[in-house]
Structure 1
């Protein structure tokens, strides 16, 4: 199972009118069956979309480093909620599932995503594996906003960076802000690897966020 994300399968059909009336244990794919695409594959599939999106998580840090520094169990990227249908059409070969409150549930092709759900997994039925982890980011075209506290925002132009081959990825300071709350072993490694090259202005922003959201956080002291 993916480290840091505990999910459980729906155990019984839901009542008529719910998100998925036929979603049973048998219907949900194996949640450990991840064989995620790499960022270059994702960027190629989204090359015709000009709407905001960016790689997040550990892969974003590695795009910033310019090299893969560790294994990645998934491929996380963010979009804006109003653009969900456009991005879903770009992955017409995948089946989508919501990942919310510890439960993975099928999202039929004719259903809009529930307003409370912000994470969606894409399953490749032909290859029998998960390919992408698509997440809603509560910002706008002009501003990036922190999902856990949307009042923390910055201009999108500052928060979305690009590789030499034009793959958009989240600013490492924002990636580390997400990781600071739980600080799993891989998160600690990511922080220690990123810290020496993190610009002074980004260190200051990250420290201010940590002091406000996670007082006493060990990373704030290191910054």
Structure 2
């Protein structure tokens, strides 16, 4: 499936994600722009999709929890192809799109990330890690979401306009330890990035 015929998105709401993921016997976190919005504490931009972070080791747990859905893996350099039931995706695949049926809009996007025992490990550098229990929060509606400094680290590489909006909204709310962690993680993952100077304590 190419960029010309990807189909339309009607992303699930975070509350719908919580309901859909209730049967998943593995940790997961809302990621992307919604994670930043939850950390900021109020909506500040629209969302074209919804991202869910899942550990690579748990990839089949979500697939098994939504039987009958269509699953498509984003195989670099960006071609979507069907993800077969029970298939273990190769390490190069980080994104998975899914929808209830072939004629339905896309509802969920899963981001697969790495782990080592009880640690989350960034796919960008093995030294960027933290205990799994410390990589996220739970909002008032009981929805787990990724810690904002981790989400911003991933956004820093491309820094699209929506990423700049997210960074600007979150920057005043980042505490000193979060700023230091983000600077150090960006340096390991990408080298110098424009956001670093704005993260001074």
Count of aligned pairs:
198
Q: 1:21 matched to which residue of 2?
A: none
Q: How does 1:75-114 map to 2 (within 5 A)?
A: 75-101=50-76, 102-114=78-90
Matched, 1:68 2:43: yes
SS of 1:86's equivalent in the other structure is helix
TM-score when scaled to structure 1? 0.81
8 Å contact from structure 2 (residues 9, 106) kept in 1: yes
The 1:47–1:141 alpha-carbon spacing in structure 2 relative to 1, beyond 3 Å, is: farther
Contact 1:139–1:150 at 8 Å: present in 2 too?
no
- Structure 2: 5+ residue stretches without partners: none
Q: Deviations over 1:24-52 (max 9, x none)?
A: x9xxxx31411110111111122233411
Change over 3 Å in CA distance of 1:104–1:222 after alignment to 2:
same
Corresponding position: 1:167 with 2:143: yes
Distance in 2 (CA, whole Å) between partners of 1:119 and 1:216 is: 26
State the shift of 1:115 in Å: 4.1
2:11 match: 36
1:8 correspondence with 2:14: no
What CA distance in whole angstroms lies between the structure 1 residues aligned with 2:22 and 2:131?
Answer: 23
Q: CA 1:64–1:127 in structure 2 vs 1: closer, same or farther (change >3 Å)?
A: farther
In 2, the alpha carbon distance for the partners of 1:124 and 1:151 equals: 37
Q: Structure 1: which 4+ aligned runs deviate by more than 4 Å? A: none
> Which residue is equivalent to 1:17?
none
SS in 1 for 2:164: helix
From 10, 30, 33, the equivalent of 1:55 is: 30
Query: Which protein has the larger Cα radius of gyration, Structure 1 or Structure 2?
Result: 1
Q: Deviations over 1:123-166 (max 9, x none)?
A: 23276210111121101462121122233101122211111122
Q: TM-score, normalised by structure 2?
A: 0.89
Aligned residue for 1:136? 112
Selected match of 1:211 from 172, 176, 187: 187
